Structure 1
Amino acid sequence: MKTAEQFMQVHPVLAVKDVTAAIGFYVHNLGFSLAFADDTKAPRYAGVRRDNVEIHLQWHDASEWQYGIDRPILRFVIADTEALFNEYKTKGVFHERTQLRETAWQTKEFAFYDLDRNGLTFYEDL
C-alpha cells in the first residue's frame, strides 16, 4: 500500500575535493557512519548517515574549485542543540565565530564548515 506522503527524505549531495577525507571528517568528527561508497579504496561518491539524516559526498576535480563556486549551507533540525554543541566542541570542527546562540527568529543554533567549506547549521525551535 502506498503512503499518502509524497516526499519521504532528501539526500543532499555535497561537492568535495577528497571523498575519503570527507568521509573521515563526517564519521570521526561529526558522529556519522558510512552508509555506502562506490569504491572501498578510492571512492568518488559516498553516503554518510546519522540517525535519519543521510548526506552524499561527490568528488569534484580540483580545477572546478578555482572559480569559487557557491557552497551550500545545510540546516539540520535536531532535538538538543546544547548536547550536540558540547559533543562537537571537543572535535576541533568549530571556526572562530562558532557559538551556541538564540536567534531573533526563535531558534537555538550553532554553525561551522566542513573540510570543503560547506556550511553546517544545527538548530532547534525555541
Structure 2
Amino acid sequence: MGKGYLHQIHPVLPVIDVVEALKFYVNKLDFKIAFADDSKNPKYAGIRLDDIEIHLQWHDVSEWETAIDRPMLRIVTQNIEDLFKEYNTQDVFHDHTSLKDTDWGTREFAFYDLYKNGLTFYQDL
C-alpha cells in the first residue's frame, strides 16, 4: 500500500447564473467548457484552461442577500506579464487591478468574476 498523493484541486465557485458565468470565463478568460449537467439550463458545470479546472455551481439569488466572503483562488501561472496584457483587453479588471511584486516573493494581479469570486494569478519571482 502506498502513501496518498494529492495532484489536483477543482474548486467550486458559487454563481447565480451558470450560463452567464460560463460566458464570462469562456469569452473573457479563454477557458473551455469541460462539462455541464444540462446543456440548456445547467446548475453545475466545469471549465478548464491549461492544467486547471474550476467548477461553477448555481446558488439561489437569495443567498447573495447576506454579505459573506466569496472564495479567492490563487492560480499559479507562467508568463504573467503576457497574461496580464491579455486579460487587460477583456474588460475584467477593476480600478485597483495592477501587476505588482509582493513582499512574499511573487508577481501577481487580481480581480473578481461576475459574482465577486476572487481570482489572483501569480508566479514566483
TM-score by length of 2: 0.96
Name the CA distance, whole Å, in 2 between partners of 1:3 and 1:82: 40
Change (3 A) 1:106 1:67: same
Match in the other structure for 2:73:
74
What count of residue pairs does the alignment treat as equivalent? 125
What's the offset of the Cα at 1:8? 1.9
> Does 2:100 align with 1:101?
yes
Summarize deviations over 1:64-119 as a string: whole Å, max 9, x none.
Answer: 11011210100000011100000000000000000001111111000000000000
> Does 2:113 align with 1:114?
yes
- Matched ranges for 1:56-95 at <5 A: 56-95=55-94
TM-score by length of 1: 0.95
Name segments (4+ residues, structure 1) moved above 3 Å: 2-5
Name the CA distance, whole Å, in 2 between partners of 1:89 and 1:120: 14
Where do 5+ consecutive residues of structure 1 fail to align?
Answer: none
Name the CA distance, whole Å, in 2 between partners of 1:4 and 1:88: 40
Name the CA distance, whole Å, in 2 between partners of 1:120 and 1:55: 11
- Secondary structure of the 1:67 match is coil
Name the CA distance, whole Å, in 2 between partners of 1:25 and 1:123: 20
Match in the other structure for 2:50:
51
Percent sequence identity is 58
Match in the other structure for 2:26:
27
Where do 5+ consecutive residues of structure 2 fail to align?
Answer: none
- Secondary structure of the 1:34 match is strand
Change (3 A) 1:106 1:44: same
- Secondary structure of the 1:71 match is coil
Match in the other structure for 2:14:
15
What's the offset of the Cα at 1:5? 5.6
Cα RMSD (Å)? 1.3
